[in-house]
Chain A
């Protein structure tokens, strides 16, 4: 398997921390590296979609395919940056930004009705009909003061999700 580069130097750790705005402590960064090497079975320096899907707990997640688009082929630095939104040190802004990016899959900077529908479909599968989904979305959008054809921008997300905040944290096991 050749995990010959499984020792991170201090310089590497600090570079990664810079990149993710110190969301993780040094210990946590080292743990994340061990996890990264464990998932990167082909030792290619990045985790492929297939290697992510070999974690059953991830594969059964309804948003797995959507997340794979972002997370496929990330190197370690980008991997940590991706996970930084889940650190307890991450700001609410960073968390909302992460959610926004999940919705805004084409990176346009705005989330259309179609994007909202796509995510809702991932979450509900075939247990709600397509018409019901559209109806529900239209209803809640209008109730919040938006129209069906209006796109949401980041500021809208902040307004909707900002109060009373989000609970989106994962603990990195440090042995």
Chain B
């Protein structure tokens, strides 16, 4: 791995008008502001800074966002253990094969309808798109059925109108499938390798999906332009964006990227909350591949979740894009019962910008200089 500190610092929003992290960290840990003559003790006493460092080592709000919390074992008991074993047999021996068959049937139906339509109806775009949308919704329903998904949708269904984007919190790639089942969204996603990438470049492309690459620096401008073009078109599928930029464990929300909020259109928030009663739907991409994650879902009893379509929001006069993003994040977090943390999801992949450390340094330096002047 690279040397500490040599990893590129986060290139995402470094604006100074981002919410103040100090508001989120426990109070009483920031360096207090004493007055009076500056003494040796004041400079020697580094205990507040050390306490903050030790506090971060012991527990920090960022790592908590990506922790998959394993359920408490409940089956270590003479009565429950055999029952649990029967459950395992049913899940792996009966449910799983049935689900695989259902999924296979779904794919056969989908491909045998999609490929001819895609090829033959090349000239009749409007009709072709209509059928393709319906087919994608169909295959997503098959996917959801293959995990016995119990999804409850609340609120008015999204409508196909121009100048609107949908934003949602992100727990796993299945968020997209759960939402797609109801509405043919065009989504903006990270380009993946493997079979997922293949699906992305063929089928999802026809929906109007947009791809980005986290690791490419210049990517952001091209993607921003594609987003703007997409929302202006009236015939395009409604755009779905996951502004967190990464999968979070469905107990917290990390900071929303402002890209979705400066497109000059209405933002319709969607909140998704999974019930962990049978399985934890959080895809910990550091721990398992997507295939393993799907298999885990397919060998559980059910995937239960709630989807809330919330009231569309527009930029208030005098509000910056970041404030708008935070406001929408608050709406979504309250609805889904998630806690908000002030960290950028991309800190999973890069180091924090030196600006944060410099803010602390600056405030301490100013205290010293001020007290010197008072003498």
- A: residues with CB less than 8 A from B are 1, 32, 35, 38-39, 41, 48-50, 52-53, 55-65, 67-68, 71, 83, 86, 95, 98-99, 102, 116, 119-120, 123-128, 132, 136-137, 139-141, 143-144, 146, 157, 160-161, 166-170, 172-173
Cross-interface CB contact of B4 among A39, A49, A95, A127, cutoff 8 Å: A49
Q: Are the C-beta atoms of A56 and B52 separated by less than 8 Å?
A: no
Range of interface residues on chain B?
A: 35 or more
Q: Are the C-beta atoms of A64 and B53 separated by less than 8 Å?
A: yes
Residues of B within 8 A of A144 (CB): 39-41
Q: Are the C-beta atoms of A55 and B1 separated by less than 8 Å?
A: no
Q: Which residue of A lies closest to B347 (CB)?
A: A56
A59 to B62: give the CA distance in the assembly, Å. 12
Q: Are the C-beta atoms of A58 and B60 separated by less than 8 Å?
A: yes
Closest CB-CB distance, A120 to chain B, in whole Å? 6
Q: Which residue of B lies closest to A83 (CB)?
A: B54
Interface of B, secondary structure class, is: helix
Closest CB-CB distance, B67 to chain A, in whole Å? 7
Q: Are the C-beta atoms of A55 and B62 separated by less than 8 Å?
A: yes
6 nearest interchain CB pairs? Answer: A125-B361, A127-B365, A57-B56, A58-B56, A60-B356, A124-B365
Q: Is B38 an interface residue (CB 8 A)?
A: yes
Q: Are the C-beta atoms of A58 and B57 separated by less than 8 Å?
A: yes
Q: Are the C-beta atoms of A63 and B58 separated by less than 8 Å?
A: no
Known contacts: A124-B361, A125-B358, A127-B362. The answer to whether A52 contacts B57 by CB under 8 A is yes
Q: Are the C-beta atoms of A67 and B357 separated by less than 8 Å?
A: no
Q: Are the C-beta atoms of A140 and B40 separated by less than 8 Å?
A: yes
Q: Which residue of B lies closest to A122 (CB)?
A: B361
Closest CB-CB distance, A55 to chain B, in whole Å? 5
A49 to B50: give the CA distance in the assembly, Å. 17
- Chain B 105-143 per-residue mask, 1 if CB under 8 angstroms from chain A, else 0: 000000000000000000000000000000000000000
Q: Are the C-beta atoms of B58 and A172 separated by less than 8 Å?
A: yes
Known contacts: A125-B361, A160-B41. The answer to whether A61 contacts B53 by CB under 8 A is yes
Q: Is B318 an interface residue (CB 8 A)?
A: no
Residues of B within 8 A of A143 (CB): 39-40
